[in-house]
Each structure stands twice: as structure tokens, then as C-alpha cells.
Amino acid sequence: MSIDRLRAHYGFTRMPFSKDLAPGMLHSHSAHAEAVARMSWCIAEQAIGVISGECGAGKTVAARAAVASLDASRHTVLYLGTPGVGLRGVYTTIITGLGGVPRFHHAALIPQAQELLAAETEERGKRVLVIIDEAHLLDAESLEGVRCLSNMGMDQAAPFCLLLLGQPTLRRRLRQATFTALDQRIAVRYAINGLDQAETTSYVKHHLALAGRSDNLFSDDAIDLIHATSRGLPRLINNLAVASLVAAFASNKAVVDEATARVAVAEVSAE
Ligand SMILES: Nc1ncnc2c1ncn2[C@@H]1O[C@H](COP(=O)(O)OP(=O)(O)OP(=O)(O)O)[C@@H](O)[C@H]1O
Ligand SMILES: [Mg+2]
């Protein structure tokens, strides 16, 4: 079955529930808006923030939205997407991101990163934002490196904003005694939870409307089932909604009803 035939069947102008939405097209449910607001506050205050949430809850999307609202000429954003490569990995990304060539010795990397970060602010007048995504994967050594970064400028406010995004285990990790120094410097902690039922309905309709269908393509009970199965987690909602569209198309239905959504749930949970 081709995507083109599926699109034609429903008269979609684009495929709904795609993961590459432009920041202006995102759905603004409360957890998303709250996470973006907190990240924006951390950026303005140059504070450390921890944003946690289950897989597919919308952490990376929220961070992208917060970054998109920044004046690019006044901010330098360093995004570390796949940490877990040790202290050297974390520092190498920061140093090269700021135009430096990482020094050979481990011990020299920390002051080098600190100098470059300070220069970005003092000489170029830019606010620096370091985002470490998937931070629950950071090993102890990398977290220690992050702690050293957060120690910059003695006890004055660090001259940059640090956002750690990760699954709920991240919050537990940071509470361990070894990381107390870092934990105490965290100004904002926010857990992105799933959407509630009304938000899931609005979320599904939002994605469908972006694809050109503002009518009731999904029945209410189909959306309720998708909500219950996904626990309101956006990525799971997307997967179930797409599977529902495919199932309805395969049985030549014009709308997604509850029976169709049930088929989709069975397929997605069997994967
Ligand atoms: N506010 C939103 N508006 C529209 N779609 C969203 C929104 N938030 C999340 N999504 C959808 O949910 C998907 C998952 O979001 P995201 O990748 O941010 O989750 P995550 O919490 O970073 O997950 P992981 O822990 O796996 O990295 C996105 O690809 C996007 O399609
Ligand atoms: Mg993510």
C-alpha cells in the first residue's frame, strides 16, 4: 500500500502525524506549553533546568520550540543529541561548537570549554544555551563533567544556560549523593506528563486539520481508545492514529471508528 493512495483516500494535503512539524505548527497542550515556558525562563536567567518525561512525551520537540523562539543573533545553541560518550565527548562537542580545537589532555578540556563559553558571552555578546538530550544516558564521568561546567564562575550564576532532557530515571540519578553539587544548582525541574483526554482529542484533530481534514475523521470513541492505550504520550498517539488510518483504508472505510482503532491497537501492541 502506498502513502500516495492513503493520502488520496482521505484527501490529505500532507501526511498527518508526521514528526517533522515546524515549530509554529506544534500543538500547544499544557505540558508542552509549561515545558517551553520553563526552558525559556532558564535561558533568560542562565539557569540549569531538568526536563524529564517518558519516551515520546515531547521533550525534544519542546526544546526545539523554545530554541525557535530565540533571537538567533544573540544566542549560541549547543545541542548534544547523543551523550554517553564520556567526559571527552561532552567537552569536545561544546568546544568544537564554539569554534575551538579540543586540547589533547583531559584536564585541559575543562578550562578550555570554560574560556570559550566566557568569550562567547563577553566578547561576542551572545547568550549560550547548552542542551544535553537523552541525559539519562550520561555515565558518571560525563555527569561529573557537566557538574564541573556548572561550577564555572565560582558561586556566581553560570554564564550560560544548561538544559538536561531525559527519561524519568534522570531525576533519580541526579539525586544520588555523588551528584549533589549539580543537583543543588538545578533551578527548574519539570516532568512532561501525557496529555489528558480532552487534550488528546484536540491533539488528534490538530494533526488532521494540518493535513487538510477539519471534520470528524476519527469518531470520539476511537480517540478515547487511542488516548487510553497511549496514556496521552504524543509519539504513541501518532503511531496509533496512523495505524488506525491504515486499517480504515484497508477495510475501505471513510472514517476511523472504534472497531478500526481496536485493530490498530492490536497491531501496534503486537509489534
Ligand atoms: N507539542 C507537540 N505538537 C505536535 N506534535 C508533538 C508535540 N509534542 C510531541 N509531538 C510528537 O511526538 C513525537 C515525540 O516527541 P519527542 O521526540 O519530543 O519526544 P521525547 O520526549 O523527546 O522522546 P524520547 O525520550 O524518545 O527522545 C514527536 O516526533 C512529534 O511528532
Ligand atoms: Mg527526545
Is there a domain that residue 95 lies in? yes
* Cα 85 from Cα 120, distance rounded (Å): 25
Is there a domain that residue 136 lies in? yes
Q: What local confidence, expressed as pLDDT, does residue 156 receive?
A: 53
CATH number of the domain residue 73 falls in:
3.40.50.300
What is the mean pLDDT for each group of 10 consecutive residues in the chain (271 residues)? Answer: 88 93 94 98 94 98 97 94 76 92 89 90 91 92 82 61 95 86 91 98 98 96 98 98 96 96 92 62
Range of the domain at 233: 195-269
Is there a domain that residue 11 lies in? no
Specify whether the CB–CB gap between 29 and 169 falls below 8 A: no
Is there a domain that residue 199 lies in? yes
Listed residues 140, 171, 192: the one ending a domain: 192
Minimum CA distance residue for ligand 1 atom 25: 55
Q: What local confidence, expressed as pLDDT, does residue 218 receive?
A: 98
Is the distance from the beta carbon of residue 53 to the nearest atom of ligand 1 less than 6 Å? yes
Is there a domain that residue 248 lies in? yes
Ligand 1: residue of 34, 61, 193, 242 to mutate (most ligand atoms within 8 A of CB) is 61
* Cα 192 from Cα 30, distance rounded (Å): 9
Q: Which three cell numbers stand for residue 237?
A: 498517539
Q: What local confidence, expressed as pLDDT, does residue 39 receive?
A: 98
Domain co-membership, 173 together with 110: yes
Domain co-membership, 199 together with 261: yes
Domain co-membership, 88 together with 209: no
Using the mean position of ligand 1's atoms as its centre, give its distance from the Cα of residue 265 in Å: 20
Domain co-membership, 188 together with 97: yes
Nearest ligand to residue 167 Cα: 1
